[in-house]
């Protein structure tokens, strides 16, 4: 498997959630928690990283190509597999919900990952894709950092809402909901935000919910 820059920055990456990213993470969780009751089990996170979201949301299984990150996720009680979203180690129609949580922008082959997620979901299963919208302040700041050679963000590609919706529909999903949050930018995130239904321009953290509906 190709070298993953997240592996080399594992500690630094993980500590973001307790420091600079603490309030942003709390805002993101606040948008995701109300969805949980309606999501069929079992749950998998693709791009589980160090397991921060998975632990906070009760996602039991995670895959990621970065072994160092998976060590953290394991220590947080997540059952992990070293794998990429493009080739998932699960049988057809076996999972209830698959989450992508700020992983979408790092996928080299998002279309293939959507196809794989569709394959492993049961009929009526859900995709929860929380991505950083290209027009939000957080993605804009990361795009600037990428221009200066940032080791992680220079590998990312940030998308707009319509593009993510089109790709998700083309993979066969029916879009059943959208949530927007995180309108404050990096360095100015000082208060908790209530999530808003639908797509709202300027949101950094956008959650698109898809359903496998054959």
Ligand X SMILES: C[S@@+](CC[C@H](N)C(=O)[O-])C[C@H]1O[C@@H](n2cnc3c(N)ncnc32)[C@H](O)[C@@H]1O
Nearest CB to ligand X, comparing residues 145 and 214: 145
What DSSP element (H or E) covers 146? helix 137-147
What DSSP element (H or E) covers 64? strand 61-64
Q: Could you tell me if residue 202 is left (phi over 0), alpha (psi between -120 and 50 degrees) or otherwise beta? A: left
Distances (CA, A) of 47 to 6, 105, 141, 187, 214: 11, 11, 22, 26, 26
Nearest CB to ligand X, comparing residues 19 and 123: 19
Longest CA pairwise span in the chain (Å): 45
* Coarse DSSP helix, strand, coil percentages of the chain, rounded to the nearest 5 percent: 40, 25, 40
Minimal distance, residue 14 CB to ligand X, in Å: 7
Minimal distance, residue 52 CB to ligand X, in Å: 4
Nearest CB to ligand X, comparing residues 156 and 165: 156
Nearest CB to ligand X, comparing residues 79 and 213: 79
Minimal distance, residue 7 CB to ligand X, in Å: 8
Distances (CA, A) of 117 to 106, 125, 145, 159, 188: 16, 10, 30, 19, 35
**E strands along 134-204, which residues?**
173-181, 196-197
Nearest CA to 97 out of 69, 131, 136, 58 is that of 58
Minimal distance, residue 158 CB to ligand X, in Å: 12
Nearest CB to ligand X, comparing residues 20 and 174: 20
Residue 7 CA to residue 128 CA, distance in Å, equals 25
Residue closest to ligand X, measured at CB: 49
Contacts to ligand X by CB under 6 A: 4, 6, 46-50, 52-53, 64-66, 69, 84-86, 101-103, 106-108
Residue 126 burial (CB count, 10 A) = 24
Nearest CB to ligand X, comparing residues 113 and 165: 113
């Amino acid at each position: 498997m190709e070298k993953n820059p997240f592996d080399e920055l594992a500690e630094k990456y993980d500590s973001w959630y307790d420091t600079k990213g603490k309030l942003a993470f709390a805002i993101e969780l606040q948008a995701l928690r109300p969805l949980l009751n309606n999501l069929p089990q079992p749950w998998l996170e693709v791009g589980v990283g160090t397991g921060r979201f998975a632990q906070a949301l009760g996602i039991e299984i995670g895959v990621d190509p970065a072994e160092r990150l998976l060590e953290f996720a394991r220590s947080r009680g997540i059952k992990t597999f070293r794998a990429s979203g493009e080739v998932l180690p699960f049988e057809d129609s076996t999972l209830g919900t698959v989450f992508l949580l700020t992983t979408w922008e790092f996928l080299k082959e998002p279309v293939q990952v959507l196809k794989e997620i569709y394959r492993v979901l049961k009929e009526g299963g859900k995709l929860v894709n929380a991505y950083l919208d290209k027009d939000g302040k957080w993605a804009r700041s990361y795009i600037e950092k990428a221009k200066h050679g940032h080791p992680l963000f220079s590998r990312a590609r940030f998308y707009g809402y319509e593009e993510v919706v089109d790709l998700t529909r083309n993979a066969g999903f029916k879009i059943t909901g959208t949530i927007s949050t995180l309108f404050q930018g990096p360095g100015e995130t000082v208060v908790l935000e209530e999530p808003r239904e639908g797509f709202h321009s300027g949101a950094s953290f956008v959650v698109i919910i898809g359903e496998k509906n054959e």
